[in-house]
Copies of this chain bind each other. A is one copy, B any other.
Amino acid sequence: MKLSANEEYGLRCLVRLAYAGFEERALTIPEISQAEGVSPAYAAKILRVLRKGGFVKAARGKEGGYTLARPAASIRIGDVIDALGGRLFESDFCDTHAGQAPICTRSVDCSVRSLWRAVQVAVDQVLSKTTLRDLLQNEEEMNSWVRTIPGANGLRLIQ
C-alpha cells in the first residue's frame, strides 16, 4: 500500500502545469524535469501518461510544451490517480486471487473483501472530491479545506 512513483511525480507535474496555466504559459519537458528534480526522459514518460489520460495536451515544435487539457476545477484528482497508478481495490480483485480452490474465508462471503472495499471508499471520498483547482492553495488552506470533505469531517490532520 504505497504511492507509486508515477502517482507521486505525475500529480506534482500537474500542479505545476496548473500554476503555469494562470499565466497562460506552457511548460516544456526540460522545465518540468528541472522543477521536479527528475530526468527529462522520465518526465516525458510521466507526461505521456497524463496526456493519454486526457489531463494535459502537448504542442510540438518551437514554442511548444504542455498545458492543461481543461480547467483545473474540472480535473478530479481521483481520476488522475486512477490513470497514474490504478485503484487499490479493483472490482475484479477477488477473481484473481492466487489459489483456485478454497478462496478466502468463505469464498463468496468474505469479510476481508468488505474491509478492502471500505478502505477504497474512504480513499475515494477524499480523492474524488478534490480537484486540481483545490490544490492551488498553500498547505494551510489545503488542510482546512480537506476537513470540509463530507464523511471525512472527523479527519485530524495534525497528529
Contacts and interface: CB of A to CB of B under 8 A. Distances in A.
Interface of A: 1-4, 7-9, 11-12, 15-16, 19, 34-38, 77, 81, 85-89, 93, 97-106, 109-119, 121-123, 125-127, 130, 134-143, 146, 149-157
Nearest to A91: B159
Nearest to A99: B37
A100 B35 CA distance: 10
Contacts of A118: 126, 146, 149, 152, 155, 157
Interface centre among A1, A38, A102 (most CB of B within 10 A): A1
A136 B126 CA distance: 28
B3 A88 contact: yes
